[in-house]
C-alpha cells in the first residue's frame, strides 16, 4: 500500500468482533439488496438470503418494523401514539406501547447521563423554530415553550406508564431512527438472517459478513476532501452521525437555539444503533471540547470533525483510537 493511500484512508476495525462473524464466509448464499423510503429518508438492506426464505418476506418484515416506529414515535403524524401523548391533558398517566416506552426510557437515561444535552421533550421548541410539523417559525413564543419543556418533568414508572405534566411535547427524532434500525435487525434475525447491513438515512448496523468473507465495509461521509476517508468494518456494530446536514434541527436545550460550536459532524459507534444515534446528538450539541470529555467519561468510540480556518480537522476519542487498524 502506498504512503499516499495510507494518508488518504483510515480503517476502523472493532476490537471485539463476534466469534461467529465470519461463519457466513463461503456460504454460497446469494447477496441480496433491498431499498425504499421511510421516515422522510431512504433505507437499504444488504443480506445473505438463507435457503428457503423468500426475499419478499424479508422486505415485508423490514417495512412493517419501520411502520411500527412511525405509528408509535412520529412527531409528524398527528395520529401517532407520541402525538396523542403530546395532546393529552395535564396531570394524567399514559400507558405506552413497549417499544415507545423502551425508546423514551433510553432517551431519558442519556439525558440524565449527559446533563440534558439530549432532551426528548423539545417538540414544541423544534416546531417553533419551523423544523416541526407546523413548518412555521414563531421565535416570540420560545420563552414560554422553554418553561414547558425539560426531561426532568417526565415521570416514568416500571409498568410502562408516563406522566404528562401539561403542555409537554415529546420529540424522539434523535433516537427513533436508530431504534428503527435495531428493530429491523431484530426482525431479520427472527427470520434466520444472520448476515446483513441495514441503513436508514445514514444510521447503520452490520452483523456477520458478506458471502466472500469480507466484512460490511462502510465509508463515513466526509464534509470535504481535505480529510482522509474513514472506513469501518461493521461487524456486530452500529454507527450514527449528527452534523451539518441537520445542524439547524439540532437544538441545544441550554439555549433553545440551533447547536453551533464549530463542529461539522460527530459519529458514534455502539452495539445498538439507538445508542449511537442518541449519543451522536448529545456529543454534537456538547461541542468539540465538552463533547470529547463526555465521550471519554462514557468510553464512547466517537469521531469529531471540526471546521477550522484551514478546512477541517478530526479528533477521536480513546475508545475510537483503540479501533484503528
Q: Note the pLDDT tens digit of each residue in 157-206.
A: 989 999 999 999 999 999 999 999 999 999 999 999 999 999 999 999 99
285-318 pLDDT per residue, tens: 999 999 999 999 999 999 999 988 787 888 999 9
Q: Which of 225-234, 245-254, 257-266 has the weakest average pLDDT?
A: 245-254
Instruction: Tell me the Ramachandran region of residue 262: left when phi exceeds 0, alpha when psi lies from -120 to 50, beta otherwise.
Output: left
Q: Residue 71: CB partners within 8 Å, gap ≥ 6?
A: 77, 79, 80, 81
For the chain, domains (ranges, CATH) are 81-164 (1.10.3980.10)
Residue predicted with more confidence, 3 or 253? 253
Burial of 298 (C-beta count, 10 Å sphere; 0-12/13-18/19+): middle
Tell me how far apart the alpha carbons of residues 170 and 81 are, in angstroms, rounded to a whole number: 11
Residue predicted with more confidence, 220 or 79? 79
Q: Which of 277, 235, 258, 292 is nearest to 103 (CA)?
A: 277
In the chain, count H helices and then E strands: 10, 16
The overall average pLDDT reported for the chain is: 90
Amino acid at each position: 500500500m502506498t504512503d499516499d493511500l495510507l494518508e488518504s484512508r483510515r480503517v476502523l476495525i472493532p476490537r471485539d468482533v463476534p466469534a461467529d462473524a465470519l461463519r457466513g464466509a463461503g456460504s454460497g448464499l446469494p447477496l441480496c439488496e433491498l431499498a425504499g423510503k421511510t421516515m422522510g429518508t431512504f433505507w437499504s438492506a444488504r443480506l445473505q438470503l438463507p435457503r428457503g426464505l423468500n426475499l419478499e418476506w424479508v422486505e415485508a418484515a423490514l417495512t412493517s418494523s419501520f411502520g411500527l416506529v412511525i405509528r408509535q414515535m412520529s412527531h409528524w403524524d398527528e395520529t401517532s401514539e407520541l402525538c396523542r401523548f403530546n395532546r393529552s391533558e395535564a396531570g394524567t398517566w399514559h400507558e405506552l406501547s413497549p417499544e415507545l416506552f423502551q425508546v423514551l426510557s433510553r432517551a431519558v437515561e442519556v439525558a440524565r447521563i449527559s446533563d440534558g444535552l439530549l432532551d426528548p421533550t423539545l417538540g414544541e421548541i423544534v416546531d417553533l423554530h419551523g423544523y416541526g410539523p407546523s413548518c412555521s417559525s414563531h421565535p416570540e413564543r420560545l420563552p414560554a415553550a422553554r418553561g414547558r419543556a425539560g426531561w426532568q418533568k417526565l415521570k416514568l414508572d416500571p409498568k410502562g406508564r408516563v406522566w404528562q405534566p401539561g403542555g409537554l411535547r415529546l420529540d424522539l427524532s434523535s433516537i427513533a431512527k436508530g431504534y428503527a434500525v435495531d428493530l429491523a435487525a431484530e426482525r431479520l434475525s427472527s427470520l434466520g438472517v444472520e448476515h446483513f447491513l441495514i441503513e436508514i438515512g445514514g444510521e447503520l448496523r452490520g452483523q456477520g459478513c458478506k458471502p466472500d468473507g469480507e466484512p460490511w465495509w462502510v465509508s463515513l461521509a466526509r464534509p470535504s476532501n481535505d480529510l482522509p476517508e474513514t472506513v469501518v468494518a461493521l461487524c456486530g456494530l452500529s454507527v450514527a452521525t449528527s452534523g451539518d446536514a441537520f445542524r439547524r434541527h439540532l437544538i441545544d436545550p441550554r439555549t433553545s437555539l440551533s447547536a453551533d460550536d464549530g463542529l461539522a459532524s460527530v459519529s458514534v459507534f455502539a452495539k445498538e444503533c439507538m445508542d449511537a444515534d442518541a449519543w451522536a446528538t448529545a456529543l454534537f450539541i456538547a461541542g468539540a471540547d465538552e463533547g470529547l470529555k463526555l465521550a471519554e467519561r462514557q468510553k464512547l468510540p466517537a469521531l469529531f470533525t471540526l471546521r477550522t480556518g484551514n478546512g477541517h480537522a478530526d479528533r477521536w476519542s480513546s475508545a475510537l483510537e483503540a479501533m484503528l487498524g
